[in-house]
Amino acid sequence: MGQSEYYDVHRVFLRSFTIRDIAEPLLSFDATTPAADAVAAMTVRGFQVAGLRRDGSVVGYIVLEELGEAACGDYARAFDAASILGDNAPIIEAIRILQDQPVAFVRILGEVGGLVTRTDLQDPPVRMWLFGLLTAIEMRFQTLIQQRFADESWMKYVSPARVEKAKQLLEERQRRNQIPTLIDCLQFSDKLQIIARDERLRDQVGFVSRRRADAVGKVLEALRNNLVHSQDIIASDWDTIFAMADNLDRLLTLVSVG
Give the domain ranges of the chain. Answer: 23-119, 124-256
- What CATH number does the domain located at 23-119 have? 3.10.580.10
Name the pLDDT band for 75 (thresholds 50, 70, 90).
Answer: very high
Name the pLDDT band for 1 (thresholds 50, 70, 90).
Answer: very low
pLDDT at 248: 77
d(CA 197, CA 213): 8
Nearest to 194 by CA among 166, 156, 225, 168: 156
Name the pLDDT band for 214 (thresholds 50, 70, 90).
Answer: very high
pTM for the complete prediction? 0.84
Q: Where does the chain have alpha helices with state H?
A: 3-15, 35-45, 91-98, 124-148, 160-175, 188-197, 199-205, 210-228, 233-246, 248-256
pLDDT at 4: 53
pLDDT at 256: 64
Q: Give the model confidence (pLDDT) of 172-199 as tens digits.
A: 999 999 999 999 999 999 999 999 999 9
Averaged pLDDT for residues 116-140 = 91
Averaged pLDDT for residues 237-248 = 90
Does 103 have pLDDT greater than 60? yes
Does 110 have pLDDT greater than 80? yes
pLDDT at 39: 98
pLDDT at 97: 96
Are 237 and 222 contacting, i.e. CB atoms less than 8 angstroms apart?
Answer: yes
pLDDT at 14: 60
Percent of the chain residues past pLDDT 90, beyond the cut: 79
Q: Give the model confidence (pLDDT) of 10-46 as tens digits.
A: 556 666 789 999 999 999 999 999 999 999 999 999 9
Nearest to 99 by CA among 82, 87, 111, 76: 82
Averaged pLDDT for residues 126-151 = 90
